[in-house]
Structure 1
């Protein structure tokens, strides 16, 4: 593979923004890919995949390169040279690339690969936390899977098409997508492709959504005609799935504290042909109180550490801080106690996170059921989804029922 200077420089620019300026990897990659319109699919693929790989293994590569944050531009080139050597690429003769001791890089890689925190490139505190919460062997397996790049998974929008029709439509555009057993709406791409430029996407036939995430809306057991509240809707991945399960009948109220995310949801809803969604920004407690005792179904897709989705958001592990877990656990408790009041007698609620930590999951449910607000609820069932067992993101979901 011939290395092109402008592509490598784009990777270095992206890494500088992610590592030194604290920007989010997905936003940076989107921005960097727009720099040169002449770049083709392979060029763009090289930039995106190399950037994500280096974010994923930042600790390992910086240790081998013997550089420390904040990383200077020469530091970033040294880290990139480590990546290139370990990827089996021949280093170019550029002034930015110092003479690189390839044998020493490989030797150091072999040595560090025996130690989990370096091999999986994870901060010490998260490594200790995961091992303490899940056990050494289980955490080792889960962490290894969470370090693999995520596949592209699509969710069929049943308001507009069927899974088989979507497959055919994508194939006509040159994209192969395969069904996944046990996931009714999911299609997986064996090879990565830019699905957002397809006519199928523009017509609202699908959304990109991990297979584990697709389980959440179905867990809520919604029916057409109900009043359903998605309390932490964000940009609406699960809201749109709920709309399709409700067949556009009934009322689906999408709440979020960020107006900008709800605007994005409205735009996506128009493309999806989802007409029963009512967006409301939580700008005061009145918004919540007005809905007390009125919802057949409530989804609490709670903010969390995001440790179950490191495959697609590898920069999360570098952004998290040790005190964040304590703060988010308190936030989750407050959200559960407050938002559960929207469920009417006989109604159901799902609490879900994209975390794998018991403190954010089953421990939260036990805490809620023991609280004054949870006394009328009972746990119907819960589900822990592990990346190393499912092959997809790590998730937790619990279905609770109020009263009879």
Structure 2
């Protein structure tokens, strides 16, 4: 007899485990499902979508629930709060699930977890939401920036402080584009190894299309010719070409660092915060096996991850070192033709891939991380040879961590900005700042994550 799978109960278990640990993160969903080999692809996809969607839409879900529940989510029993959130997510965002099934299955969860006396409460709240789902009383967007940002925060499930900050710094249109983009289905983007020629890639792509029971969809990136977007992936380890090191997962915005850095054969490259290694490996690949890349990270576990990627991608010109970037290393002084500084940041540009960032980041973190970034830059700037290149990058979108750091660095250290116009795809060359050596990519602006890249040359 086939095992009976209760997909909603599994999703509930994953979310409640996070609740007990005090964390909510997409990685937790993936790690949990990776251990459940008995589940088929369809069940895993349902559980993943339900659990991750409930995390991602928590702000919106709580707003809706609080319109129809006498007891607000903040005061609910944690189990009940989780079940109602999951039920509301199914009603509002899962068209494949009938409203009646979302309600009834939620009530079953309440009973099965020993909360029978609250089944009427859950049933009433969810049925009320189902009846009114097309007429939710959303906040009035009004006409002022503050009222519009309040609307955006609730409608697109983003923290109010972030909606206020971005609408003030970058405008409502760019904020709306970013928030919409965060909630769109995202592909897994990969970069092929230069060991593979065009005909080899073509043959490999044909094999890749058979993965996941033929469900996988592959589309060329409109930004970079060697990037490929994959849709409907499950476990990428089982996709043809992964174990052979034919390709590596890397977002296009991260690949642009390699374009801007423009490493040459024989260069020495130092990557001071390298994990998981995408930029280091890209640099090594661009040098066609020549030169040397020293990939550093403070974490032993992350260094092991980089080393595993180096081994899999069959790159002999990468050396992995465990190193604290905030501690100066004399042996690195004047050693680097190219210094990569992809530094710790708030990560607000990649909320679409890691929605837990918006739940675990406070405004104070921006200033704290700006200080950390400046501390690291102060320790590593002289690793660059005179005439060499320093590329500073973050996966966030705050002026404090990006624009302000560029001005601060140029004012305090012997570097000049380098025009990056000819190192960028044509669609990005129109931005005014590229001639001044930097570019801020807003989330969704070019179909990429939010990212910042600046290029400097050491002059003395």
Q: How many residues align?
A: 399
| 1:391 matched residue in structure 2 | 447
1:8 Cα deviation (Å)? 0.7
In structure 2, the CA distance between the partners of 1:71 and 1:211, relative to structure 1 (3 Å rule), is: farther
Assess, with a 3 A threshold, how the Cα gap between structure 1 residues 259 and 36 changes in structure 2: closer, same or farther: closer
Distance 1:168 1:274 in 2: 25
Whether the 8 Å CA contact 1:167–1:178 is kept in 2: the answer is: no
Give the structure, 1 or 2, with the largest relative contact order (CA under 8 Å, sep 6 or more). Answer: 1
- The alignment status of 1:403 with 2:448, answered yes or no, reads no
Deviation of residue 141 (structure 1)?
Answer: 2.2
Task: Tell me if structure 2 keeps the 8 A contact 1:159–1:272.
Answer: no
Label 1:113 to 1:176 Cα distance change in 2 as closer, same or farther (>3 A).
farther
With over 3 angstroms needed to count, the CA separation of the structure-2 counterparts of 1:299 and 1:36, relative to structure 1, is: closer
Matched, 1:364 2:405: yes
1:167 is matched with 205
Aligned pair partner of 1:151 in 168, 178, 187: 187
The RMSD of aligned alpha carbons is 2.3
Mapping of residues 1-400 of structure 1, within 5 Å: 6-23=6-23, 25-66=25-66, 67-68=73-74, 72-86=78-92, 87-88=94-95, 89-90=97-98, 91-92=100-101, 93=104, 94-95=107-108, 96=110, 98-99=122-123, 100=126, 101-103=128-130, 105-106=132-133, 109-112=136-139, 115-160=151-196, 162=198, 163-171=201-209, 173=211, 174=214, 175-283=216-324, 288-371=329-412, 374-380=413-419, 381-400=437-456
Query: Is the CA contact 1:82–1:105 (under 8 Å) kept in the aligned structure 2?
Result: no
Judging changes above 3 Å, is the alpha-carbon distance between structure 1 residues 333 and 283 closer, same or farther for their aligned structure 2 residues? closer
Question: Are the aligned partners of 2:273 and 2:325 in contact in 1 as well (CA < 8 Å)?
Answer: no
SS in 2 for 1:248: coil
Q: C-alpha separation between the residues in 2 aligned to 1:181 and 1:211?
A: 10
SS at match of 2:400: helix
Would the alpha carbon gap of residues 192 and 376 (structure 1) be closer, same or farther in structure 2, given more than 3 Å must change?
A: closer
Asked if 2 retains the 8 angstrom alpha-carbon contact of 1:255 and 1:280, the reply is: yes
The 8 Å contact of residues 414 and 459 in structure 2, kept in 1 or not, is answered as no
Task: Say which SS state the counterpart of residue 330 (structure 1) adopts.
Answer: helix
Contact 2:326 2:379 (8 Å CA) reproduced: no
| SS in structure 2 at match of 1:200 | coil
Q: 2:325·2:380 contact (CA, 8 Å) conserved in 1?
A: no
> Secondary structure at the residue paired with 2:439?
strand
Assess if the C-alpha contact under 8 Å between 1:150 and 1:392 holds in 2.
no
Q: Distance in 2 between matches of 1:5 and 1:112?
A: 39
Whole-Å Cα distance in 1 between the matches of residues 205 and 59 of structure 2? 40
**Mean Cα deviation higher: 151-160 or 29-38:** 29-38
Distance in 1 between the 2:61 and 2:303 partners? 39
CA distance in 1 between counterparts of 2:135 and 2:405 reads: 42
Number of the residue aligned with 2:427: none
Mapped to 2, the partners of 1:264 and 1:378 lie a distance apart of 33
* Structure 1 residue 63: Cα displacement: 2.1
Measured in 2, the distance between the counterparts of 1:330 and 1:26 equals 28
Contact 2:190 2:229 in 1 (8 A): yes
C-alpha separation between the residues in 2 aligned to 1:113 and 1:42? 39
TM-score, scaled to structure 1:
0.91
Q: What secondary structure does 1:203 align onto? A: coil
Deviation at 1:106, TM superposition (A): 1.2
What SS does the corresponding residue of 1:313 show, helix, strand or coil? coil
Aligned-residue offset at 1:125: 1.7
CA drift at 1:25: 2.1
State the Cα deviation string for residues 367-387 of structure 1 (Å, max 9, x = none): 11011xx23333432222222
Q: TM-score, normalised by structure 2?
A: 0.81
The 1:20/1:325 distance shift into structure 2, 3 A limit, reads farther
Q: Is the 8 A contact 2:177 2:445 kept in 1?
A: no
| Bigger shift: residues 177-186 or 220-229 | 177-186
